[in-house]
Each structure stands twice: as C-alpha cells, then as structure tokens.
Amino acid sequence: MKTILITGCSSGYGLETARHFHALGWNVVATMRKPRRDLFPASERLRVVALDVTDIDSIALAFELAGPVDVLVNNAGIGLFGALEHSPLQKIRDIFETNTLGTIAMTQAAIPQMRERGSGVIVNITSTTTLAPFPLAAAYTGSKTAIQGFTCSLAHELLPLGIAVKLVEPGYGPTTAFAQNTEIRLEDVLPEPYWSYAEPILDAMADPALFTTEADVAKAVWQAVHDQSEESHFPAGADALALLG
C-alpha cells in the first residue's frame, strides 16, 4: 500500500486531497502547522503530523515520522491580494518563504529516499495565475511562477532516476482561504486610486461564472500521481480547463 505526504492539510485543497486519497485506499500523512486530528476519520491509514515548511528542522522531523513516502504533494501556501505598492514587504517575503522556498525545501528533503528506491512522484500545486496573469496578485503570482519553472526543470533532472515531477494548476477557488490567511485587511492594500480599479474585479470574484473546487484539485492530483506519460501539467477546475481550452 502506497503512502502519500501532503502539506497544508488544515483546509482547502490539501484537506480534500488527503480525504480523497484515504478514501481510495492509500496511507496518508496529512501535515499542517497546527495538527487537527478531528478533521479526519479515525483510521490506521491516516496520520496527522505537525509541519512548518519554512522550518528545516520541522521538515526533517515530519519525514522521519512519516517513514517511506511514495508521493509528495506540495500544497501548503498563502495568498496575497492587493496592490503591490501597498503590500508590506515582510508579507511578500512570507509568501515566497512558504509558497516557493517551502516547496523547494520539501522537495529537496524527499528526493534521497525516492532516488534510493528508484521511484516516486512529486506534485507541486501552483495556480493558473502562472498561465494567465491575474491583476492585483503580483507577489503571489511571482511565488507560484517560480515553482512552475522549478518543476519543469526538475522533471528533466529526476526522470532518469525514476522520479516523476508534476504540476497541478488550479483556477480560482472562492471556497478556499486564498487571501484570508495573510492577516492583511483588504482596505489597507487597496486604497485609492487602486480601489476604483479593483472594485469590478472583486465583484467578478464574488460571483464567478466558472471556478475551481477542492474536489477538482483532489482529482487532478490523483490523475497526476497515476499518470504514466511524461505529461507535467494538470489543470484543475472548470475555469482552468476553459483557460487552457
């Protein structure tokens, strides 16, 4: 029975992906900064492990507790919506520390055991903002675009070792905590003259014609993990599919 380790499982895409793989018979290591076992059913095939992807010691301990891992899903991330001019530089550093360097650090930690076995899959969850730039999300887009390039290069590097590296690219997820986990008030990052520009964008986001659900992402991760081709891009969500179609 294979084991998957997923980061950022306290909510959203990570939580649903963990539940999805568990329901389909996998051993699941669901990681999050503050462990919440109550989010999941009691099961010997599911462990909740504390993990801060910005802390090297935390990463090492999580892999030690997890044991052999067949699949790593780098999902942990934070969002930031607003005008770059008014976005605190420390928050931008936090975005890159988690979304970009956290993903790289987790990947680096997972490679040795996969290389020794000659098999493994690494799935990095980015965003369709890397494919069609979205306004008022410059820092977030930058953090995810870096992972897009990182993943495509790494896929070539690890393919001869039997390790696959894939990208899952969700669209807009209105039911997730995209911007709520930054502790920044919207009015602070969208003062005039940006507000008049942002208002119709916010109205459209409040009632999107097409969007991405947590289940869409879980299914795309499942598809990426089981893909036997060298395909690296897996869009997730109706809006992502429309964008690429």
Strands 120-125 and 163-170: parallel
Query: Which of the residues 13, 140, 194, 197 is marked catalytic?
Result: 140
Strands 71-74 and 3-6: parallel
Residue 166, judged by CB atoms within 10 A of its CB (0-12, 13-18, 19+), counts as buried
Distance, CA of 152 to CA of 165 (rounded, Å): 8
Distance, CA of 115 to CA of 125 (rounded, Å): 22
Backbone angles phi, psi at 73, to 5 degrees: -115, 115
For residue 122, what is the enclosing H or E element?
strand 120-125
Exposure on the CB side of residue 114, measured as CA atoms within 13 A: 27
| Residues ≥6 apart with Cβ < 8 Å to 56 | 105
Task: Give catalytic status of residue 197 as yes or no.
Answer: no
DSSP string, 10-34: TSHHHHHHHHHHHHTT-EEEEEESS
Provide the 8-state DSSP code for 99. I
Q: Across the beta sheet with 71-74, what order do the strands follow?
A: 46-50, 27-32, 3-6, 71-74, 120-125, 163-170, 233-236
Q: Which residues are identified as catalytic? A: 140
